[in-house]
Amino acid sequence: MVDYVNLNYEPSEKDLVVMYYVEKSNECKSLESASEEIAKESSIGTWTEIATLSSDIAKRLKPSVFYINEDNGIIKIAYPEELFELDNIPQILSAIAGNIYGMKVIENLRLIDVTFPKSMIDVHYGPKYGIKGIRKILGIENRPLLGTIVKPKVGLNEIEHARVCGDAWMGGLDIVKDDENLTSMKFNTFQKRIVETLKVRDRVEKETNEKKIYMPNITAKMSIMKKRADLVINNGGEYIMLDILTVGFSALQEIRSYLDDKNVIIHAHRAMHAALTRNKKHGMTMLSLAKIMRLIGMDQLHTGTVVGKMEGDKREVQEINEVITKNEVKGNDFTMLTQNWGSINPILPVASGGLSPLHVPDLIELLGKDMVFQFGGGCHGHPDGTFSGAKAIRQAVEAALEGISLNEYAKTHDEIKKALDKWKL
CB under 8 Å to 308, separation ≥6 — which residues? Answer: 351, 352, 353, 354, 355, 359
Kindly indicate the confidence band of residue 310, based on its pLDDT and cuts at 50, 70 and 90: low
Separation CA 254–CA 256 (nearest Å)? 5
H or E element that contains 374: strand 372-374
| Closest to 286 in 3D by CA, of 307, 315, 259, 264 | 315
How high is the pLDDT of residue 305? 82
Separation CA 66–CA 83 (nearest Å)? 17
Average pLDDT over residues 260-287: 95
How high is the pLDDT of residue 26? 93
Convert the pLDDT of each residue in 63-99 to its tens digit: 999 999 999 999 999 999 999 999 999 999 999 999 9
CB under 8 Å to 286, separation ≥6 — which residues? Answer: 270, 273, 277, 303, 304, 312, 316, 320
For residue 286, report the phi and psi dihedrals to the nearest 5 degrees: -65, -30
CA dihedral 176, 181, 183, 186 (to 10 degrees): -120
Separation CA 7–CA 27 (nearest Å)? 24
Separation CA 224–CA 161 (nearest Å)? 22
How high is the pLDDT of residue 309? 65
CATH code of the region 15-122: 3.30.70.150
Separation CA 201–CA 169 (nearest Å)? 8
How high is the pLDDT of residue 145? 98
CA dihedral 288, 291, 292, 293 (to 10 degrees): 120
The SS3 assignment for 399 reads helix
Average pLDDT over residues 131-136: 96
Separation CA 188–CA 181 (nearest Å)? 12
Cβ atoms of 326 and 272 closer than 8 Å = no
**In the predicted model, is pLDDT for residue 171 greater than 60?**
yes
How high is the pLDDT of residue 289? 97
Separation CA 373–CA 191 (nearest Å)? 27
* In 9-157, alpha helices (H): 31-41, 55-61, 89-96, 118-122, 130-138
Q: Which residues are part of the catalytic machinery?
A: 151, 269
- Do the domains at 15-122 and 130-423 have one common CATH topology? no
Average pLDDT over residues 90-117: 97
What is the rounded average pLDDT for all residues in the chain? 95
Cβ atoms of 151 and 126 closer than 8 Å = no
How is the chain split into domains, by residue range? 15-122, 130-423
H or E element that contains 212: none
CATH code of the region 130-423: 3.20.20.110
**In the predicted model, is pLDDT for residue 425 greater than 70?**
no
How high is the pLDDT of residue 2? 74
Convert the pLDDT of each residue in 244-255 to its tens digit: 999 999 999 999
**In the predicted model, is pLDDT for residue 233 greater than 70?**
yes
Average pLDDT over residues 13-17: 96
Q: What percent of the chain has pLDDT over 90?
A: 89
Kindly indicate the confidence band of residue 51, based on its pLDDT and cuts at 50, 70 and 90: confident
How high is the pLDDT of residue 73? 97
CA–CA distance from 13 to each of 83, 92, 119 (Å)?
Answer: 14, 17, 9
How high is the pLDDT of residue 44? 81
Q: Greater confidence, 50 or 263?
A: 263
Cβ atoms of 267 and 244 closer than 8 Å = no
How high is the pLDDT of residue 313? 80
How high is the pLDDT of residue 1? 63
The predicted model scores a pTM of 0.95
Average pLDDT over residues 101-128: 97
Average pLDDT over residues 413-419: 97
Average pLDDT over residues 310-338: 90
Average pLDDT over residues 120-148: 96
Separation CA 413–CA 392 (nearest Å)? 8
Average pLDDT over residues 94-114: 96
For residue 217, report the phi and psi dihedrals to the nearest 5 degrees: -85, 110
Convert the pLDDT of each residue in 344-397 to its tens digit: 999 999 999 889 999 999 999 999 999 999 999 999 999 999 999 999 999 999
How high is the pLDDT of residue 311? 62
